[in-house]
């Protein structure tokens, strides 16, 4: 397995692979890898000849009061996981944005609500880093998790709008044994916060069950969800259109139940599909 820490070396390697006819795949991550990230690697591995995992904690997507400085890291464990997943190259840049970098990528509409509303500037930071990663890694295809459902939609829209020559692959959310969505940020939770954090997915599952029992009214479903969540602050609990993420009153099309809540200072997100999966690209 190769490891590159400059953009120039990464690009040269990837273009070299492509010139020999290899199809190159990318899994963008911020490191502290877990089975959720592994699922992205496993989904992409059979579709490509060369697989890159990028590990970069992107300052642009963190707000001033957020956890950029504390974001967990474990490069040895990350390397082991990548090795076991058959990754060909890790890209862990020491400097990612060139001196004088002065561009940002904004996706509108899809970023107006949910995490876009709660974390101003977040999706601009995500869209910008992903666009540059696509350029630096010269990839043909990239995988993103449904764990960050809004992010997946935003990147799909961006790739289409800008005609980026990169196929976007969505990968289902992976949960821990107790049902909590796997996240690098789960490591921040105290044992008691972790127990209460289970109520986040339990609320979403309760709404999904009620839908399966015939309930179609969004207010009624949300009331069921709210009755279950025990959090220090619920950022949002909503059921949105599965394609445009806009508000809905009754479920007639594929929708997504989405939630974000704080346990202590830890902000967790989760989502489940309600009423069928969407073709999201
Ligand atoms: P992160 O390192 O948190 O920026 O995540 C990198 C990629 O892994 C993103 O595309 C995430 O959506 C995806 N990811 C993170 N956690 C999970 C999970 N539990 N299940 C599926 N994908 C995940």
pLDDT 10s digits, 132-151: 999 999 999 999 999 999 99
Cβ contacts of residue 8 below 8 Å, gap of 6+? Answer: none
Q: Are 166 and 159 in contact (CB under 8 A)?
A: yes
Dihedrals phi, psi of 257, to nearest 5 degrees: -90, 125
Protein residue with least CA distance to atom 5, ligand 1: 29
pLDDT at 131 over 70: yes
Protein residue with least CA distance to atom 18, ligand 1: 36
Sorting pLDDT into bands at 50, 70 and 90, what band is 276? confident
Pocket of ligand 1 contains residue 144 by CB under 6 Å: yes
Catalytic residue among 37, 108, 201, 265: 37
Report the number of secondary-structure helices (H) and strands (E) in the chain.
8, 9
pLDDT at 281 over 70: no
Cβ contacts of residue 5 below 8 Å, gap of 6+? Answer: 91, 92, 93, 94
Pocket of ligand 1 contains residue 207 by CB under 6 Å: no
Sorting pLDDT into bands at 50, 70 and 90, what band is 277? confident
Sorting pLDDT into bands at 50, 70 and 90, what band is 127? very high
For the chain, what percent of residues have pLDDT higher than 90? 98
> What integer is the mean pLDDT of 191-219?
98
> What integer is the mean pLDDT of 82-99?
98
Pocket of ligand 1 contains residue 116 by CB under 6 Å: no
Pocket of ligand 1 contains residue 275 by CB under 6 Å: no
Protein residue with least CA distance to atom 7, ligand 1: 29
Exposed e or buried b per residue across 87-125, where buried means at least 16 C-beta atoms within 10 angstroms of its C-beta: bbbbbbbeebbeeeeeeebebeebbebbbbeebebbbbb
Q: pLDDT tens-digit profile of 209-254?
A: 999 999 999 999 999 999 999 999 999 999 999 999 999 999 999 9
Rounded to whole angstroms, the Cα distance separating 138 from 161 reads 18
Cα(215) to centroid(ligand 1), Å:
31
Q: pLDDT tens-digit profile of 6-38?
A: 999 999 999 999 999 999 999 999 999 999 999
Cα(36) to centroid(ligand 1), Å:
6
Residue position matching structure tokens 């059921």: 239
pLDDT in the model for residue 275: 85
Pocket of ligand 1 contains residue 40 by CB under 6 Å: yes
Q: Which tokens go with 183?
A: 């996240």
Q: pLDDT tens-digit profile of 254-266?
A: 999 999 999 999 9
Sorting pLDDT into bands at 50, 70 and 90, what band is 280? low
Cα(149) to centroid(ligand 1), Å:
10
Catalytic status, residue 34:
no
pLDDT at 279 over 80: no
Residue of 241, 237, 278, 234 whose CA lies nearest to 256: 241
> What integer is the mean pLDDT of 149-176?
98
Q: Are 57 and 49 in contact (CB under 8 A)?
A: no
Pocket of ligand 1 contains residue 36 by CB under 6 Å: yes
Q: Are 163 and 189 in contact (CB under 8 A)?
A: no
DSSP β-ladder status, 24-29 and 89-91? unpaired
Q: In ligand 1, which atom is closest to the CA atom of 37?
A: 8
Dihedrals phi, psi of 261, to nearest 5 degrees: -150, 155
Question: For residues 151, 155, 158 and 164, what is the CA-based torsion angle, rounded to 10 degrees?
Answer: 170
Q: In ligand 1, which atom is closest to the CA atom of 182?
A: 19
DSSP β-ladder status, 266-274 and 255-263? antiparallel
> What integer is the mean pLDDT of 171-178?
98
Pocket of ligand 1 contains residue 25 by CB under 6 Å: no
Pocket of ligand 1 contains residue 41 by CB under 6 Å: no
In whole numbers, what is the pLDDT of the chain averaged over residues?
97
Cα(214) to centroid(ligand 1), Å:
32
């Amino acid at each position: 397995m190769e490891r590159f820490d400059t953009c120039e070396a990464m690009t040269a390697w990837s273009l070299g692979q492509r010139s020999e006819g290899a199809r190159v795949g990318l899994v963008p991550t911020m490191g502290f890898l877990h089975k959720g990230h592994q699922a992205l690697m496993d989904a992409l591995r059979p579709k490509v000849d060369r697989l890159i995992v990028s590990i970069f904690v992107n300052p642009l997507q963190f707000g001033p009061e957020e956890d950029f400085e504390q974001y967990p890291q474990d490069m040895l464990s990350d390397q082991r996981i990548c090795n076991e997943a058959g990754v060909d190259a890790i890209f862990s840049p020491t400097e990612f944005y060139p001196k004088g970098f002065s561009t940002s990528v904004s996706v509108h509409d899809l970023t107006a609500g949910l995490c876009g509303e709660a974390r101003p500037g977040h999706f601009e930071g995500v869209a910008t880093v992903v666009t540059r990663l696509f350029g630096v890694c010269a990839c043909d295809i990239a995988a993103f998790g449904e764990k960050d459902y809004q992010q997946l939609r935003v990147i799909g829209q961006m790739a289409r709008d800008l005609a980026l020559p990169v196929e976007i692959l969505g990968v289902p959310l992976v949960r821990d044994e107790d049902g909590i969505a796997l996240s690098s940020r789960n490591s921040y939770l105290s044992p008691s916060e972790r127990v209460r954090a289970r109520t986040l997915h339990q609320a979403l599952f309760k709404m999904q069950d009620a839908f399966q029992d015939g309930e179609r009214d969004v207010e009624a479903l949300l009331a069921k969800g709210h009755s279950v969540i025990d959090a220090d602050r619920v950022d949002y609990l909503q059921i949105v259109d599965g394609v445009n993420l806009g508000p809905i009153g009754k479920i007639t099309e594929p929708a997504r139940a989405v939630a974000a809540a704080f346990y202590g200072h830890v902000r967790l997100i989760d989502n489940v599909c309600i009423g069928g999966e969407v073709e999201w690209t």
